[in-house]
Copies of this chain bind each other. A is one copy, B any other.
Amino acid sequence: MDKVVTQADGRISRAAVECAFCGLYGICKLAGLEQPEEQTLLDYMVSRREPIPQGGCLFNAGDPFQELFAVKSGSFKTYAVLESGREQVIGFHFPGELIGVEAIAAGRYPYTVKALESASVCRLELQRMALSGEQQASFQEQLIAAMSRRAQQEQWVPLLMGAQTAEQRIALFLLSVACRFAVRDLPSGEFRLPMSRSDIANYLGLAVETISRMLQRFQNQRLLVVHGRNLRLRNLSGIRSLAGIGPLTTTPMPLAGVE
């Protein structure tokens, strides 16, 4: 079941989501499959963009909203540069996940999005929605569903915030990542954390050193195996216990079946 591509040197390849598990799938399907001969809709609304190199920006804070993105492969971080000059990581984005929904109403992207590794995205130009005529309704319905799923996913965040110890917080973070991979049918037992320790620290409000120490501790407790940014979760229910959410399920997202 695990689709991990472990290479000779033990490194894990960049993940890419299957279209069937992408946040935009319902929309792609509408545009492409429902009208087999008429590919125009797909071409208008959903298109692939040229790959983005590591460190490349999808857009910057303040840019006018033009399109919604879904990560096809690779990963991103979103961050804001605060007036104080501090850079605050807002979140990470993995294959299949939507980027930019916050900008639909506001008309501007409120943060900057940077590729953590070479990555590719599908994009959806909402402006062209009007062109789709009668399909508009089902199109919008799909978008609403996608945004709702995204909101559901975001529930990990307050859970993370509620953690009282660094141990809890990091355990929860790992679980949230694994869960997000699992939902998209990506390998969730063994994967690569594409972001630096300092990105994680910034995101979680901890010191970089604490991340190192805790991962080390987890490894000593046989809960997981760390090789740089590569991670293998060995004892999921153990990690869950540390995270303070008890061995299984009843959590925001279906943690059941992660392994």
Contact = CB atoms under 8 A, between A and B. Distances in A.
Given A148-B102, A148-B103, A148-B147, A202 B137 contact: no
Contacts of A150: 151
Contacts of A90: 155, 158-159
Interface in A98-141: 101-106, 110-111, 136-137, 140-141
A84 B245 contact: yes
A111 B105 CA distance: 26
Contact of A152 (B105, B161, B203, B205): B105
A204 interface: yes
Interface residues of A, number: 61
A192 B223 CA distance: 45
A227 interface: no
Interface of A: 61, 80-86, 88-91, 101-106, 110-111, 136-137, 140-141, 143-152, 154-155, 157-164, 169, 202-207, 241, 244-252
11 contacts: A80-B252, A83-B246, A102-B148, A103-B152, A105-B146, A105-B152, A110-B152, A111-B252, A136-B137, A161-B205, A162-B203
